[in-house]
Structure 1
Amino acid sequence: MLWPMFFLAVAFCGIAVLGVLAVRVGLEVRRFSRAVGDSSERITRAAQNLERAAQPLAARSGRLHGQGGTQGPNET
């Protein structure tokens, strides 16, 4: 009767350890998903800032290209 009780206790401890690890994994997944969301928002803001900063340069480039004709920089 001693051995079955021992195996039952070991099985219970194993299930308890797996439960604790599952909770820890769940918490880390939640933290990771929050970090990914924050990073996504920062990337979106940076892309918007880059687009806003590039608009005057693109407009100037379009004006220069329109005035210079179709010749490239190495053609004369």
Structure 2
Amino acid sequence: MARLTYASARAICSTFGFNPFEDFHAMSSGSKEAVIRAADSVKYKAPKSRNGSRGRYFAAYVRRIIERGDK
């Protein structure tokens, strides 16, 4: 998987319909499924030493990219 850009991260959020700033554990089950579908669409793989779900890691990854901004 190539790194996401700011524009592609925003596009993924709007296409799959989830709020990147919402806490993953507070999301509805529909939003969590949207995060998983988005991760599948870009072939995201969580780190091998992960301590949590792939969905939570992808949601945090997208949030970091968007918070960093368009640079």
TM-score normalised by structure 1 residue count: 0.23
Q: Which has the higher helix share?
A: 1
TM-score normalised by structure 2 residue count: 0.24
Q: Which structure carries more relative contact order (alpha carbon 8 Å, separation 6+)?
A: 2
Point out the structure with max Rg over C-alpha: 1
